[in-house]
Amino acid sequence: MDNGFFRVAAVVPKLSIGDCRSNYMNIIEQCNRLYEQSVKVAVFPEMAITGYTCADLFHSSTLLDSAQECIGLLAMASTNWDMILFVGAPIVHNNKLYNCAVAIQNGKIVGCVPKSYIPEYNEFYEKRWWRSGADVDEIVNIAGQNVSMTCRQMFEIDGVLVAAEVCEDLWTPIPPSSRAALAGAQVLVNLSASNDLIGKYQQLKSLILQQSACCMAAYVYAGAGYGESTTDVVFDGKAFIAENGSLLAESQRWSREEKVVVADIDIDAINRDRIHHSTFNDCGERELRGLEYYTISCSESNCKRNASGKLLRQVNPTPFIPLTNKEESYAEAINIQVAGLVRRLEVTHSHSLVVGISGGLDSTLALLVAVRAFDELGLDRTGIVGVTMPGFGTTDRTYNNAIKLMELLGITIKEISIVPAVKQHFADIGHDINVHDVTYENSQARERTQLLMDIANQKGGMVLGTGDLSELALGWATYNGDHMSMYGVNAGVPKTLVKHLVKWIALDMQDNATKEILLDIVDTPISPELIPADDSGNIKQKTEDLVGPYELHDFVLYYVLRYGYSPRKIYKLERVAFEGVYDDDTIKYWLKTFFRRFFNQQFKRSCLPDGPKVASVSLSPRGDWRMPSDANSALWLEECDNL
């Protein structure tokens, strides 16, 4: 495998009903192409050798003998391939006819998986031809080779376990693939011939995605297409590759040509989820009692592959922001934040919230959430006290946006300049005001937090934190300054998502004045504004110039927390996701910066205030992320240096 990626294909080939030799030649043609693409597992439809709609011809010895012959020819041809080929074919054993997935690799028929569940309700009344193979565990002769035939076998290639099932098996309450996954199979394949009906496509697609999610596995589905009989039904040529609930690839339907979908499965992600979710293994211990699964090793090969360097899967550069159903996700995020704050206000009997408003993204999102929470509780918005605290680096743009936004939202506005207090503080501790170091910056942040806390005491309310998930990951917060609050409503929202949420709310606004302010805040450079502005009054201290682009850091953060990936694997993914945006040296530089800061700043995350988990990961020391503050980053930084 290349960095944990494993290439698979689902194929809808050309088909001629009953013409096994023609079908065999089409399969050979496709396999030669797939081999050149470095595919490790290729899946063809149910009865791909004969055609699924042969009906009573399945009782013809001519057809069955031809199928055996062509399976043997496929096995001979496979000496040129080290991939496993799964092809559907009829197999006779002990005068019983089985609908099977035949596994072929390196000149051998390595296994045979019979269909477990034979439907009698559908258009074909399959029990007329097929026997269930659910309880079969025997050695059968196929094309002169002795082969294991059982549903309880897995095929190992490059350390990956692959298990097969056939069509109807997936539609049952407990599909064979479920137990195979619990036994260790990371890739599940389905050889199918599912005719199309109104609504069936979406139902099947949902079923495949759900099965891949429940099994924490990849699911490769190849369905019959053009060429099957249309006497009573029609087949549209469905093919899917799913991974842990996400669709990686699917075929074009209703095509008269063969269709092939290829994708790289992330085996590391699958393995990590299975380790991380203890219920998966608990379920395996219960469901596999008394069942024995066999593993057939298919890894030995003398074939040399012409590996393709391009990763065959889409890599979302903003993994916290879905590629589809964005508005639904944005609404979910806001609703989670609002619900968390509503409950906290109820249990604390607070009718007052104190929020520091800077005119930046984070405080804007926190304020918008606060307003919605007060509206839901039927509280007067004047109970929200927005405090703007101009300092040495505050610019007119952010100041004016903060004031206008608070006015438009109808909250209580309080303005306190921190300049006199901080100057006095500098005098007290003997700090030169012209030295713009960490003391200069942090003194301002802590003064603001002190003001907010004391005002909250006056009002009998609580301070609403505004810091986001990305800042917590990088430690871009002043300890006991903006690091502290009484409820961190943005603590589970990464910076890239904050920006999209504010923009989404803005575009939904009916009030054009409020919309205009929000959109300008979205366009304002991200800055703590702790250093004086430039000569033109513009922001001089830009966060992303100092700590790096948030889109890069959020990408790394997602894969560190969600999958525990190494710097090497994250770097590979970043190069794909940000191709043409950042060069390799830039990606490496900020990748190392992330790991250095992430480790060094854990002490700030070890004592975070409460806040709702919003995205798929969080840094709460009580929840998703528990890490010693004195952990050593040497291994990670060394790997970054060796990229």
The CATH number of the domain holding residue 428 is 3.40.50.620
Calculate ∠ Cα 285-291-295, nearest 5°. 100
Average pLDDT in the 21-25 region?
94
Q: Name the domain boundary from 278, 297, 316.
A: 297
- 287, 351: one domain: no
pTM score, two decimals?
A: 0.89
pLDDT in the model for residue 309: 67
Type of residue numbered 82:
D
Percent of the chain with pLDDT over 70: 97
Check residue 359 and report its DSSP letter. S
Average pLDDT in the 455-483 region?
95
What is the per-residue pLDDT across 594-637, written as a single tens digit (0 to 9) for each? 999 999 999 999 999 999 999 989 999 998 899 999 999 999 99
271 in any annotated domain: yes
- 343, 418: one domain: yes
Check residue 525 and report its DSSP letter. P
- 383, 279: one domain: no
303 in any annotated domain: no
pLDDT category, 308, cuts 50, 70, 90?
A: low
Average pLDDT in the 253-259 region?
83
Is the alpha carbon torsion for 61, 67, 70, 75 positive or negative? Answer: negative
pLDDT in the model for residue 527: 78
Give the integer Cα–Cα distance in Å for 413 and 425: 25
316 in any annotated domain: no
Paired strand residues for 263: 8
- 382, 438: one domain: yes
Strand, coil or helix: 400: helix
pLDDT in the model for residue 230: 80
| Domain interval for residue 424 | 326-641
Angle between helices 550-563 and 267-276 (to 10 degrees): 60
Q: Provide the H-helix boundaries in 162-233.
A: 176-182, 200-214
CA 572 to chain centroid: 16
Give the integer Cα–Cα distance in Å for 554 and 497: 9
Give the integer Cα–Cα distance in Å for 368 and 505: 9
Least confident segment among 52-66, 374-388, 458-472: 52-66
pLDDT in the model for residue 300: 53
pLDDT in the model for residue 56: 87
Walk across the sheet containing 384-388 and list its strands. 412-415, 384-388, 353-356, 462-465, 487-488
Paired strand residues for 147: 140
Residue 574 predicted with pLDDT over 80: yes
Question: Which of 615, 318, 623 lies closest to 493, judged by CA?
Answer: 615
Count the domains in the chain: 2
Other CB atoms closer than 10 Å to residue 233's CB: what's the count? 16
What is the per-residue pLDDT across 103-132, written as a single tens digit (0 to 9) for each? 999 999 999 999 999 987 666 678 888 999
Q: What is the end-to-end Cα distance of the chain in Å, rounded?
A: 18
Give the integer Cα–Cα distance in Å for 344 and 216: 35
- 285, 355: one domain: no
CA-CA-CA-CA dihedral for 27, 28, 33, 35, to nearest 10: 110
Do residues 351 and 383 touch, judged by C-beta distance below 8 A?
Answer: yes
What is the per-residue pLDDT across 236-255, written as a single tens digit (0 to 9) for each? 889 999 999 999 999 988 87
pLDDT category, 325, cuts 50, 70, 90?
A: confident
Do residues 608 and 336 touch, judged by C-beta distance below 8 A?
Answer: no
Give the CA count within 13 Å in the CB-facing half-sphere of 442.
Answer: 13
pLDDT category, 593, cuts 50, 70, 90?
A: very high
Q: Name the domain boundary from 297, 318, 345.
A: 297
pLDDT category, 307, cuts 50, 70, 90?
A: very low
Give the integer Cα–Cα distance in Å for 26 and 29: 5
Residue 583 predicted with pLDDT over 70: yes
pLDDT in the model for residue 306: 42
**Cβ neighbours for 90, distance < 8 A, ≥ 6 positions apart:** 47, 49, 50, 58, 63, 64, 67, 97, 98, 99, 100
- 264, 175: one domain: yes
What is the per-residue pLDDT across 363-394, written as a single tens digit (0 to 9) for each? 999 999 999 999 999 999 999 999 999 999 88
Type of residue numbered 27:
I
Average pLDDT in the 405-411 region?
97
- 255, 377: one domain: no
- 98, 184: one domain: yes
Give the integer Cα–Cα distance in Å for 192 and 271: 27
pLDDT category, 302, cuts 50, 70, 90?
A: very low
pLDDT in the model for residue 412: 98
What is the per-residue pLDDT across 334-355, written as a single tens digit (0 to 9) for each? 999 999 999 999 999 999 999 9
Average pLDDT in the 442-453 region?
96
Check which CATH number belongs to the domain holding 127 and give it: 3.60.110.10
Q: How many helices (H) and strands (E) does the chain have?
A: 20, 20
Average pLDDT in the 420-424 region?
96
Do residues 520 and 401 touch, judged by C-beta distance below 8 A?
Answer: yes
Give the integer Cα–Cα distance in Å for 597 and 548: 11
**Active-site residue list:** 46, 115, 167
Average pLDDT, the chain: 92
DSSP 582-633: S-HHHHHHHHHHHHHHHHHTHHHHTTPPP----SS----TTTT----TT---
Do residues 358 and 402 touch, judged by C-beta distance below 8 A?
Answer: yes
